[in-house]
Chains A and B, each alone.
Chain A
């Protein structure tokens, strides 16, 4: 199969050279011949699409879509470069990617983190208040940093009451073993590995304590969302079937088997990761997809992330949140 790729490469270069010409000549109908390209990566709410892929539900729904498996950050790079039509990402990262120039609209929510993101503390530290004056490692500007600030505020502390150590999320298990670091922030499976690395350490604050802090979904290139609206609606409809299949106790083992295979681990290892993710059916999603304040609204949550991003200099100007969120796909009858 792959030996035929390199001629393809040439063809692709040629295509790109001819693209400006083609764009003029191209009608909507010609575009529709291309399958939708969606980049997805290793997070339970996104791996869930694998169920629909393996079961052939997209074909049943009459939508031509190709899912491409990426590393998370590589998937956002590909989306930013305009090489894929949609990517699975968090509402916060959609703002970050958009601030860099690649705007998107989130057409469907897949889930919110319900415990998978956590602040893991060493034995002896029972609450966030115990962290006062101690060192906490997070990857600055990412969701765990936000989770920590949110928790500290509730515990009556300020960011300056702890010393932040900036480290890569993937390295948190090793960081937690360092003598002077009291806690780290990471998501699964890294957070689970951190707890294994320092026996007796446990989560003192998780995304389950603040449901809706981090929403995950499918973000689509606005041009594609407009031009291929009917196709995207069909794709969104398939999501309901996926959630039902995963949550039904009768079919769950089969679903977990498919998802675990995609991630390259055993179903037994996978189940706890799934439990830390609250999948949102379309009706649950549309309840969140309403304007409001606070974390129970996607708009409220995104506004908080936007303010966090600006205050941490992830980007300079606040984003126009309404342009990133479009409930009409989820609500389409």
Chain B
């Protein structure tokens, strides 16, 4: 199972390795080693292959020293080993700046933002979704507005969130909530509606009403599906992390990514993206396992 999952990573990794290590596949640039007689070349500079050939031909015609260089990929495509190196050094080097957070501390900060955002959103979104799905009247009343609101892009609320909630974690959490909540209500309402109507009818015939209907009949009926929805929604919350953390003071993993991208240190950017991917994917695997243990009667799991 795990082996099959890891297997699907091999193909992209293989392509990346081939493009990075076999110069004849792509390598449209030349990295200058010695500038020779070319006035503007510097050691380490990346130039187009044609430009390099042109300059070399010019130097030969003028009888000056020839530039030397090796084929290279553009700066935005670092080789896997450089990303691996960046990943290692990012975790092991003490931050240069006094009392700046270590990378794992920045990560923990980001994870907290996600968790708080997701918890707040779930605290209202899950009950509301279930109620909307169970009682048609409530659903009709609230869902059109939620449908409308879910199209509003969460990042657009950035400046507003800062004005209301300050410059620290408040507005960041708010963006995660705005990005997750409205989808959550609709998805969970839908899941609730899929519960067999006969179950609810039978319960009502037997006199179950109100809170008891939800806690005794609806909730146990949808729990495995609800759990699966929440797993998907947690992944959804992660995708809002970067826009959320750009708001207010710079913090978390986003600060690392944007700052390194500004100076075109792309190996660090890829390393940080990898970390996010690993955390997200890893936690989802764990939650999936947990789901199997919690809901052994869930028949749909055989298909996943």
Contacts and interface: CB of A to CB of B under 8 A. Distances in A.
Interface in A139-177: 170, 173
Q: Report, as a range, how many residues of chain A touch the other chain.
A: 35 or more
A189 B165 contact: no
B162 A5 contact: no
Nearest to A199: B47
Interface in B196-248: 246-248
A234 B258 CA distance: 33
Nearest to B39: A200
A74 B262 contact: no
Interface residues of B, number: 42
Closest 9 CB pairs of A and B: A261-B96, A261-B97, A81-B163, A199-B47, A264-B259, A83-B167, A68-B249, A77-B159, A78-B167
B78 interface: no
B263 interface: yes
B9 interface: no
Contacts of B265: 265
Contact of A260 (B96, B250, B255, B260): B96
B248 A78 contact: yes
Contacts of A54: 97-98
A64 to B, nearest CB: 17
B100 A189 contact: no
Interface string A38-49: 010010000000
Nearest to A55: B98
A199 B249 contact: no
Nearest to A5: B169
B96 A257 contact: yes
Contacts of B168: 5, 8-9
B190 interface: no
B40 to A, nearest CB: 5
A254 interface: no
A74 B40 contact: no
A265 B47 CA distance: 23
B249 A70 contact: yes
Interface string B59-101: 0000000000000000100000000000000000001111010
Interface string A300-315: 0000000000000000
B116 interface: yes
B275 interface: no
Interface in A104-145: none
Nearest to B259: A264
A68 B40 contact: no
Interface in A238-295: 257-258, 260-265, 269
A27 interface: no
B264 interface: yes
Contacts of A264: 96, 256, 259-260, 263
A3 interface: yes
Nearest to A10: B170
A12 interface: yes
Given A170-B262, A265-B263, A81 B48 contact: no
Contact of B51 (A68, A80, A200): A200
B188 interface: no
26 contacts: A2-B108, A2-B109, A2-B169, A5-B169, A6-B116, A8-B168, A9-B170, A9-B173, A13-B165, A54-B97, A69-B255, A74-B250, A77-B158, A78-B162, A80-B159, A81-B159, A81-B163, A83-B167, A173-B264, A189-B263, A196-B45, A199-B48, A200-B40, A260-B96, A261-B95, A263-B263
